[in-house]
Amino acid sequence: MAEQVAVVAATNQGLVQAMRQNLNNASAFVVALALVISVLFAGLAKAAVLPTERADVLYHAYEGDGVTIDGPSVLLRKNIAGRVSISANYYVDTVSGASIDVRSTASPYQEVRKEKTVGIDFLNNKTLISTSFTNSSENDFEANSVYLGVSQDFFGDLSTISLSYSKGWDVVGRRGDESFEEEANRQKFGLGFSQVATKSLILGFNIEHISDEGYLNNPYRAVRFLDSSTDRGFSFATETYPRTRSSTAYSINANYYLPYRAALYGDARTYNDTWGIKARNFRIGYLQPYKDSWLFEVFVRYYEQDKADFYQDLFNRPNEFNFMARDKEMSTYNGLTAGISVAYEWQFSQTATFKKSSVHFEWDYMKFAYDDFRDATADAPVGEEPLFGFSANVLRIFASVWY
């Protein structure tokens, strides 16, 4: 975690709606699961495979809007007896600096987030069942989550259907306030389908429904309201969010193999939630191998969203509405990302201990432009400050070995 503020009392109506939504979600998930089981027993099932055995060591860095986040990530995977695969991931974010939200109201800070995941995959009767447990820990935030997924190939291995469910439990704290402790629970329901369309084309479709309940604010972000008693003409107050949120996202994707050994891919997603946020994004990318060892990739991704119903850059007074937000991720904005990467691979004997290894360098440039979030640190009349925008650089440098 790394930001946001405010506590809201949930209304009885909100809780009933959340319970109803969760029950509906659970029912829909069970229906989908029954469909998959039906397909399996109908004798259409074909091969599934365990994930590849490999080890990865990655250094990641994000720098933008006054914030630097970097750290390592290590992922190990080992198969046992051809039917079970175990994995472990250790990931660290070291955050320093202060984003525009924090610069307006507080001081820069430094903190560390450590995330640990262990997972097991079972290959049984040609069905792949995956489960994992994740713990994420920092000084003001603790999150645990469990994941269960089922994946099945059928129709001569041309079709794959996958279902997933995960549940998470968060405990939210606030630096400098030992008495502050809030909780949030999260549930995710996923359904995926992919289809081999031709000898060179794979198509995919995904739906994911997420429902959250509890303290959903960021305890370090605040709303801005007019206050003529201050020099700047405004002050900040605690944000107030609803205590429930449900979202549904739909995505499609396609991968196409070009005649001269290169690949073109694209995806698109549409999103909406009960807070009024509507979003969509598109991406197109191109992969070009060179000789046997090099692989180059470029992509462009565009994202845009409409604001949450209760978002405003400037309110007239504190407690003006039941729900109030000024988190810039709740506003209307768009983002453009362009990425390039290069990888070099060494192939060894298939009978050797290490069969393959590679090194990778990946760089993304991101640029965000906000339509109704103003730079409150600018020297301008209140409400007339320039609209905010920023760019960021993201690096991923890693080495991998297959065994």
Partner 1 sequence: MNLFKKSSIKLTLVASLALLGSGCASTLESLNPLADLEPWVKPYERSNLADPIMSMNRNPVALAYAKHVFESREGARGADGGAGGGCGCN
Q: Which of 68, 124, 139, 200 binds partner 1 (CB under 8 A)?
A: 200
Nearest to residue 213, comparing CAs of 16, 39, 365, 35?
Answer: 16
Q: Find the part of the chain contacting partner 1 (CB under 8 A) among 7-15, 225-233, 373-381, 389-397.
A: 389-397
By beta-carbon proximity to partner 1, the closer residue of 16 and 380 is: 16
Q: Say how far apart CA 101 and CA 121 lie, in whole Å.
A: 41
Contacting partner 1 within 154-173 (CB under 8 A): 155-158, 162-166
Q: Which two tokens stand for residue 149?
A: 């997924």
By beta-carbon proximity to partner 1, the closer residue of 260 and 316 is: 260
Q: Which two tokens stand for residue 220?
A: 């370090």
Work out how close the CB of 49 gets to partner 1 at its nearest, in angstroms, rounded to a whole number.
11
* Interaction of residue 96 with partner 1, rule CB under 8 A: no
Q: What is the identity of the amino acid at 234?
A: F
CB of 226 closer than 8 Å to CB of 233: yes
Q: Which two tokens stand for residue 275?
A: 């807070």
Contacting partner 1 within 118-157 (CB under 8 A): 119, 121, 130, 132, 134, 145, 147, 149, 151, 155-157
Work out how close the CB of 258 gets to partner 1 at its nearest, in angstroms, rounded to a whole number.
9
Contacting partner 1 within 265-294 (CB under 8 A): 265, 269, 271, 277, 279, 281, 287, 289
Q: Which two tokens stand for residue 298?
A: 């470029």
* Interaction of residue 92 with partner 1, rule CB under 8 A: no
Work out how close the CB of 218 gets to partner 1 at its nearest, in angstroms, rounded to a whole number.
11
Work out how close the CB of 385 gets to partner 1 at its nearest, in angstroms, rounded to a whole number.
21
Contacting partner 1 within 323-362 (CB under 8 A): 329-330, 335, 360, 362
CA angle 309/313/314 to nearest 5° reads 110
Phi, psi values for residue 140, rounded to 5°:
-125, 15
Report the SS3 class of residue 19. helix
* Interaction of residue 218 with partner 1, rule CB under 8 A: no
Work out how close the CB of 34 gets to partner 1 at its nearest, in angstroms, rounded to a whole number.
4
By beta-carbon proximity to partner 1, the closer residue of 240 and 305 is: 305
Q: How would you class 216 by CB atoms within 10 Å of its CB: exposed for 0-12, middle for 13-18, buried for 19 or more? A: buried
* Interaction of residue 295 with partner 1, rule CB under 8 A: yes
| Size of site (CB under 8 A) for partner 1 | 97
Q: Which residues contact 337 (CB under 8 A, 6 or more apart)?
A: 299, 300, 301, 302, 303, 364, 365, 366, 367
* Interaction of residue 60 with partner 1, rule CB under 8 A: yes
How large is the greatest C-alpha to C-alpha distance in the chain, in angstroms? 77
Work out how close the CB of 51 gets to partner 1 at its nearest, in angstroms, rounded to a whole number.
6
Torsion-angle region of residue 383: left (phi > 0), alpha (psi -120 to 50) or beta? left
Q: Which of 247, 355, 375, 401 binds partner 1 (CB under 8 A)?
A: 247
Contacting partner 1 within 32-51 (CB under 8 A): 34-35, 37-43, 51
Please, what's the b/e burial string for 84-102 (b: 16 or more CB within 10 A of its CB; e: otherwise)? ebebebebebebebbbbbb
By beta-carbon proximity to partner 1, the closer residue of 249 and 376 is: 249
Report the SS3 class of residue 215. coil
